[in-house]
Structure 1
């Protein structure tokens, strides 16, 4: 998280309170209510269901390329949605809420059935909560979730010791996978209100699961382990942000690969480290290449390309790229001065990066959009955070060629979405003037782009005529 996000964190608490007043009443303690693809919610006696406002066209429309239209799929029934994942035939979409509920929603009508409620297990505070969601591509009844756990004692508020949990949800309940139930070894450790767990993505084989997590360090101070000892990961410095350099027993600031999840042959390995806050990442269709939205600190937001196992993206010693040095990794001066960066080498530069003080495309600059206040100012007037990233595939029969099998990334604070066609690193503005901001981007029904808007508590779809 950038320092500019602190302002947004305060705003998000206000928005959360308003959302609770505006959404439909929720029943409590309803868990594991309905199997995906089961009978309609009203025919299932034990199921809690909600009816959302009818699908509608966004008014006013964001600025989109010719022929595109944004629709609001689910509104008035969700409370701070964070992630979506589609069932196998993309007739239904599962939606995770920050507070711990998972909804199974019908794409043919605006009705959602409660699949699980993990609220009692989750630390829902600031950037913590239920943030990762993935449906098993081979079994719609297997729902994988990633969340920040509640502290052992006391309230989950402010700086407090929390962990991460990867679990499998079925109609039978929750199976804790990483760490397993009863394990004395904790996979992740987080003390501050951000940089906790991130996203879940299945591999091309539909069996391998990738998992991301932030570095667990302070997001507003240089933190090489001198600020606290809450995680108890040793007294020898460095720790803090250097956990992303694999100097700690915790898997913070990395992307993990889990082969054969939820089986007796489950295996875990690190495929990328040196990441500050890989809140969202996506897999390029038909490959196992990962494109990581790495949330930046003072200067940069980056997209990192994981193409082989073992890549190090340099945080906290490097961040972003240096245009004056062939776009190689840019040294992070505040951490370079800590004297712990001498052994950090072999760093992979970002696939793409944008500076907080720069516009992303010439079009943004000319229109003073994507971040600037109406009176002018600059692109960082409202802050910068790469908050969503995803691919479309080649299944759409209506999207023009430049928008099929394309990479999309969004910035919640700039209220925009951009697109590009890797390996080309040239972005073009796709959507600007969004009502809220994207925190998850996925390809869905008919190859259309769907996104989760945390600020307005909606799920939206972008179609093309």
Structure 2
């Protein structure tokens, strides 16, 4: 007797396995792997996956014996979800038919003549580059996940051979398991006159700054998988560090530890991004640092558990104003250059909360609103818009995690006590898309983008004019797991991104390269995209560091250059909001209404390959 079951989405939300781990093989991944003759599932990292086999999407037919084997799993993410309901089967069939119809309507072609792509550098950073910043004097700084800062003299082709490690956080002080490590940096806008850089890095420490005792004496003691949330063998904190570069030697030293907190039990959703604010201050993002494979409301007796705090913890820390996890912050420049330890309310100003993994974000060049790439859990990836915090009168915007994912209640946490309060203030995402159906109404996307995992994690605005008026102030964004770059169209009435999926363009995708019997290896894994204009003139070029291959890649615009006048957005803060469209994007406002609706859409997504228990 066979039962039709849903593939539970187990390929979704474990975190990046880094190169310090053993090579991938069945049973030797960053989290559990189980399989039967007829069905298998692999847990992937959000942003930094180890090269691994890409599972197909869709349903799996599992025998009763195989089903029994699956149900023996000791972790929540190993549980299977049986489609016993005739209604759910019907919804599944209708959803698949509808998705296939949409794909057939839009086809699988797109304009390949807009950009040319090339590899600029090979061997970037120390082998695991996460972000590149070009300083005002033309020097190039690259953060490396392993805790090293590498400097290059310029962006010229041969400069990659002149890279020098100018600062090292130290192997015994850096945690790079999963989505952790040295993931972002910022260079002083007046560098080298002000010879400072700032780094956000996961550290192998607990306790006070003065405590230099490593948590992990041997990286091998960190178990494979996310079960460190209960055993505490991979716990870490994060630190915001100011680095001072000696102008005579070019070498950097740790000038100050400005903030130290963010206890992390899970492998992922830890440190995020650093981006300059228009007034010279610095924005930065931090993830929830909770488990991604088991429901995490706090694990008593685990090292990160606050024993005297009776509230839900773990994912719920994103909602607590006194806990810095799952937040966006602002720091004034005077505090960045001072020597005080920054905490919430004392130099750290919270501007947003209710975030799961705000890995990358960017600032609109005119409205100064923040566009945040938010990596989701089981069902929905999001791009959120935070109205200009400098003009928002101190308001803290709540994006709803863990109560909401996308526009609907999160299946695991949405019924928790406390969500009734969250729903009254949580704001809708600007744009959402599902990991199950991805981009059916974007020409060429589902035919060319990689399947098996998605991560909305790259955003940048076109702030140049030499690509033509059609591209002015356009938002380009990427999914580094799907390995595709897109651009939103601008609303012709406002000049702002419209958030409508059917108006999006697929800019670039990376082909998959079949290699060894272990599977299909991704060609590229972008970690940061930006658009740079040469200081001596010339056309602006888009760049990204490629974590997986340790490369710097570029996209040069070669498409038509329109001169037709377009509407330019006003600088009114908070003026943005999606218009909705294609069932994947939303407008502004809160989520109170959608909290109480029947989740037929969620059921349809479950039926198409997601799982209520696949990730958290």
> Structure 2 length normalisation: TM-score?
0.59
Change (3 A) 1:407 1:16: farther
Change (3 A) 1:366 1:281: closer
Do the aligned partners of 1:64 and 1:431 also contact (CA within 8 Å) in 2?
no
Residue 340 of structure 1: how far off its partner (Å): 3.3
The corresponding residue for 1:4 is 11
Q: 1:162 aligns with which of 210, 214, 236?
A: 236
Residue 88 of structure 1: how far off its partner (Å): 1.8
SS in 2 for 1:255: strand
The corresponding residue for 2:273 is 199
The corresponding residue for 1:87 is 135
| Rg (Cα) greater in structure | 2
The corresponding residue for 1:359 is 438
2:22 and 2:201 map into 1 onto residues whose CA distance is: 21
2:529 and 2:23 map into 1 onto residues whose CA distance is: 21
SS in 1 for 2:123: coil
The corresponding residue for 2:456 is 386
2:386 and 2:456 map into 1 onto residues whose CA distance is: 17
2:324 and 2:468 map into 1 onto residues whose CA distance is: 41
Check if 1:311 corresponds to 2:412: no
The corresponding residue for 1:262 is 337
Do the aligned partners of 2:460 and 2:529 also contact (CA within 8 Å) in 1?
yes
Change (3 A) 1:366 1:284: closer
Check if 1:75 corresponds to 2:155: no
Report which structure shows greater RCO (CA 8 Å, sep ≥6): 2
Do the aligned partners of 1:215 and 1:275 also contact (CA within 8 Å) in 2?
yes
Instruction: Give the unaligned 5+ runs of structure 1.
Output: 18-61, 180-185, 322-329, 372-380
Residue 370 of structure 1: how far off its partner (Å): 1.3
For 1:221-264, what per-residue CA distance to the aligned partner results, in whole angstroms no more than 9, with x for missing partners? 221124654224334131110100025x4300001100121226
The corresponding residue for 1:450 is 543
The corresponding residue for 1:278 is 358
For 1:425-448, what per-residue CA distance to the aligned partner results, in whole angstroms no more than 9, with x for missing partners? 133211112531211111223432
2:122 and 2:110 map into 1 onto residues whose CA distance is: 21
The corresponding residue for 2:82 is none
Do the aligned partners of 2:116 and 2:556 also contact (CA within 8 Å) in 1?
yes
The corresponding residue for 2:498 is 424
Residue 14 of structure 1: how far off its partner (Å): 6.9
SS in 2 for 1:188: strand
Check if 1:125 corresponds to 2:177: yes
Residue 174 of structure 1: how far off its partner (Å): 0.9
2:178 and 2:528 map into 1 onto residues whose CA distance is: 17
Instruction: Give the unaligned 5+ runs of structure 2.
Output: 1-8, 25-108, 206-213, 229-233, 247-252, 491-495, 512-522, 535-539, 559-616
The corresponding residue for 1:41 is none
The corresponding residue for 1:104 is 151
Residue 95 of structure 1: how far off its partner (Å): 0.9
Change (3 A) 1:457 1:14: farther
1:211 and 1:366 map into 2 onto residues whose CA distance is: 31
The corresponding residue for 1:183 is none
The corresponding residue for 1:302 is 382
Q: Tell which deviates more after alignment, 110-119 or 288-297.
A: 110-119
Aligned residues: 392
SS in 1 for 2:317: helix
1:349 and 1:367 map into 2 onto residues whose CA distance is: 25
Check if 1:138 corresponds to 2:224: no
The corresponding residue for 1:250 is 323
The corresponding residue for 2:554 is 461
1:11 and 1:189 map into 2 onto residues whose CA distance is: 20
Do the aligned partners of 2:215 and 2:235 also contact (CA within 8 Å) in 1?
no
> Structure 1 length normalisation: TM-score?
0.78
Do the aligned partners of 2:186 and 2:198 also contact (CA within 8 Å) in 1?
yes
SS in 1 for 2:356: coil
1:93 and 1:101 map into 2 onto residues whose CA distance is: 14
SS in 2 for 1:368: helix
Change (3 A) 1:66 1:320: same
For 1:149-191, what per-residue CA distance to the aligned partner results, in whole angstroms no more than 9, with x for missing partners? 0133324534222111111112251123432xxxxxx432111
Residue 93 of structure 1: how far off its partner (Å): 2.4
2:179 and 2:189 map into 1 onto residues whose CA distance is: 28
